[in-house]
Amino acid sequence: MKAARAKTPRRPAPKKPSNPSLKDPVGVYCRVRPLSRPDQECCIEVINETTVQIHPPDGYRVFRNGEYRETQYSFKEVFGTLVIQKELFDVVAKPLVEDLIRGKNGLLFTYGVTGSGKTHTMTGSPGDGGLLPRCLDMIFNSIGPFQAKRFVFKLDEKNGVDVQCEVDALLERQKRDAMPVPKTPSGKRQIDPEFADMINVQDHCKVEEVDEDNVYSVFVSYIEIYNNYIYDLLEEAPFDPIKPKFLVFSPPLRPPQSKILREDQNHNMYVTGCTEVEVKSTEEAFEVFWRGQKKRRIANTQLNRESSRSHSVFIIKLAQAPLDADGDNVLQEKEQITLSQLSLVDLAGSERTNRTKAEGNRLREAGNINQSLMTLRTCIEVLRENQMYGTNKMVPYRDSKLTHLFKNYFDGEGKVRMIVCVNPKAEDYEESLQVMRFAEMTQEVEVARPVDKPLCGLTPGRRFRNQQSVSEMLLQSFPPLPSCELLDVNDDQTLPKLIEVLEKRHRLRQMLSEEFAKNVLTFKTMLQEFDSSVVSKENYIQGKLSEKEKIIAGQKMELERLEKKTKTLEYKIEILEKTATIYEEDKRNLQQELESKSQKLQRQASDKRRLEARLQGMVAETTMKWEKECNAPPVRLRHRRSRSAGERWVDHKPPSNLPTETVMQPHVPHAITVAAASEKALAKCDKYMLTHQELASDGEIETKLIKGDVFKTRGGGQAVQFTEIETLKQESPTGRKRRSSPSNPNPPEDAADAEWTDVETRCSVAVEMRAGSTLGPGYQHHAQPKRRKP
C-alpha cells in the first residue's frame, strides 16, 4: 500500500527477492464501518475498491503551502460501509479455509481502534454471522461425509497427533458416554438464543476438491492474551468464583493459571496444556466458542461499552490421514498424518489511554495492550527492513506473547491475512492515521510459501470402490431383462419371456432375502453367544477382581501394620541417635579435659626436672666457687682475650652498649673501635665483631658477640660474612631462687647474697651483610637494663 504524502528523504533502493514465486505478501484488507449517527463528521472516504482517502476534520486541519492536505492509502481490497459479511468472507477467509483442508496453515487477524468493528467482523451479530462461524460452516460442509469417528485422531501434549485403532477409539467413546452429562429438558444441546442465528448462515459454501480417500477430524481451542499472559478460555475452573452465603468457610477455588509457550519438534510454537476439543458439527464448534467467549475479559471504556481488553485467539486444527489400501480403516502410520491450523485473532483496541479515560487496572491493561501491539509493529518493521534492504536484524518475537505465538507464520508456515477496521468518525482521526501507517508497512512484508506434502502413493478412489463392487455383483446375479418392445398386438412371445425373467428375478430375490434373513439370524445368534460369553467373562473377571480386592485389602492391612511398626522403630532409632549424640559429646568433653590435664602434668613434670637440674648445677657451681675462694688467693679483674687476637678487627660497639664489668669482659687488642658501620674501617681489617645487648627473659643483660670475615666484592666494596655468635650472660645462682620464693619477696642486695656467674655460649652462623647497610632491629638495643651490683 502506498500513500500520497509529502516528500521524504530517499532511502536505498529495495532489493528484489531472488525467487518471488516462492513468497506471498501479507494480504491487508480495509473495512470501513458505517457511522453510528448521520450527523457525525466523517474523515475517511472510499475512493475505489482499493483506495481510501483520509483528511483531517475541522478541528485537526493542516495546511501546507496554503493547500488542504489529504492522504490516500491503497489496500489489496477496500470494503465500504454497505458490504455484507458473505462478500467479506468470500474474498478474505474462504481461501484460508481451502488451504486448511489442503493441509496448509493460515492466520487471520482483525486490527483497529476500539469501536471500529473488529469483533463484529470476526464473530458477527444475530442473524448476520461473521468470519468465524462461516469458516466453521464451510469446513464441516466440505468434510462432513468424510469425518472420522470420534477419538480416532488423538492430539498429544506436544502439538502433534496420533491415530488410534478402532478398538481404542471405541473404548474412549464408551468411557465418554458413561460420564454423566447435564442435559436440557428437551434432551438436546441448546445454544444461547441471542447468538443462535450466527451459525445459521445458510450459504452451504464448501470446498469443491476434497480428497475423498482421507478421513478428517476437527479440533478447536480458545485462548486469550491478557496483560501479556496466556489463559485458556475452555478450562473448567471458573474465572470469578462466588462463595455460597450459607457456608461460613468455603475452600478457595484455584484461579486460572497462565499457560507457557513452547516449541515442538518442527519448531512451531504452541500453548502447553491448552484444552483442545474435538467437534463434529458447526453447532458443536460454535457452542465451544461461545462457552469461552463468556469468560473473555471485557471492560467498559470511554470509547465502547463492551470493549475487549484482551487479544482472543480461536484456533481450528484439522487432522487428516489417508485410508488403507482396502478403503476401510485409517492408515496406521504417523508420517502420513497431516495437521493444519487456522488461527482467527481478534486483537484488542489500539488507542491512546487518554481517550479511553482508563484508570487503575484499566490503565495498566491499556498499557499492556499498546505494548503488545507496538511489539507487533516492531516485528513487522524489522521483517520489512530485512527483506527490502538485505539486513539480518533479529526480529524481537519474544518481546510479546502475541508475536511469539505467531512467529512461525511470518517465518513461512502459512498465509497471513489482516483486516484493518476503521471508524470514519472525526474523533478517531489520529488513531486511524496510525492504523493506516502500520497497514502500509505490513503489506510490504513477504511470507514464504509452505512446501506441499508428498502424496501417500495409494490408488485413489479407495473409499467407494468396495461399495460399487458389491452393488455390481448383486446386479450381475440377476438374469438380464429381454427386449420389452411389442411389435404386434397378438405377440404371445415377448410377454411370456418377460414374465419368465421376472419370475426368475422374483425367485432369486426371495432366495437372497431368505439367505439374508438366515445370515441375520446367524449373526444375531453369534452376537447373543458373544454377549453371553462376554457376560460370563465379566462374571469371571468380577469374581477374580473380588478375590484380588480381598487380597489387596489384606495386603493393605499388613502394609499399615508394617508402617506403624516402622514408625515405632524409627522413633526408637531417633531416640537412640539422640542418646548416642549426647554420649559422644560427653566423651569428647572428657577426652579434651583428660588431654588438658595430662599436658598440664607433663609441663609440671618438665618444669620440676628443669628446676632440679638447675638447682643441682647452681649447688655444684656454688660449691666449686666457695672452694676456690677459700683455697686460692684473691684474683683481680682481668679482660678475656679473644681467641683471634692476631688478626685485624673492627670492633663495632653501638652507643647504647653498657659495660658488664665481669670476668669474661671481651677485649680485642689493636682493634678499630667504631660506633656505626664504616666502610673505611672495613677496608683496613679482615675481621668484624658486633657487640649486641638485650634483656633476657629473667631480666638480666645478655651480650652477643657477632663475628664475621671481611672480603672485597667485585664492585670494589666490602662485604661481611658472619661466621660465629658468642653469647655472654650473667646469672645469679641464688638470686632467682630468692626472687621466686614467696616467703622472701625482697631479697637483700649485699655482696654475700648476690653472687654472679659468667656463662659463655657459642654459635656458628653464615650470614652475609653488605658494607654500608644498616643492621636490623634485632641488633639494636634501645632499652636501658637495670644494673645490678657485681
- CA proximity to 450, closest of 207, 156, 142, 100: 100
Report how far residue 128's alpha carbon sits from residue 87's, in angstroms, rounded to the nearest whole number.
12
Phi-psi region of 661 (alpha: psi -120 to 50; beta: other; left: phi over 0): left
Q: Are 341 and 315 in contact (CB under 8 A)?
A: yes
Joined grid coordinates for residue 696: 633476657
Tell me the three-class secondary structure of 752-764, residue by residue: CCCCCEEEEEEEC
Positions at the binding site for ATP: 112-119
Nearest Cα to Cα of residue 152 among 340, 331, 342: 331
Residues 6+ apart with CB under 8 A from 166: 149, 152, 329
Four-point Cα dihedral 548, 167, 182, 129, nearest 10: 160
**Phi, psi (degrees; rounded to nearest 5) at 302:** -65, -25
Grid cell listed for 691 = 657487640
For residue 338, what are the contacts with CB-CB under 8 A and spacing of at least 6? Answer: 103, 319, 320, 321, 453
Give the DSSP letter string of 137-181.
HHHHHHHGGGBPPTTSEEE-TTS-EEE--HHHHHHHHHHHHHS--
Distance CA 80, CA 76 (A): 13
Question: Can you say which residues are annotated as belonging to the binding site?
Answer: 112-119
Lookup result for grid cell 465500504: 80
CA distances for 135 relative to 100, 206, 221, angstroms: 10, 10, 15
Q: What is the DSSP string of 171-192?
A: HHHHHHHHS-----TTSS----
What cell was used for 716?
670494589
Q: How far is the CA of 622 from the CAs of 112, 290, 451, 596, 733, in angstroms?
A: 120, 121, 118, 38, 7
* CA dihedral of 551, 552, 553, 557, whole degrees rounded to 10: 100
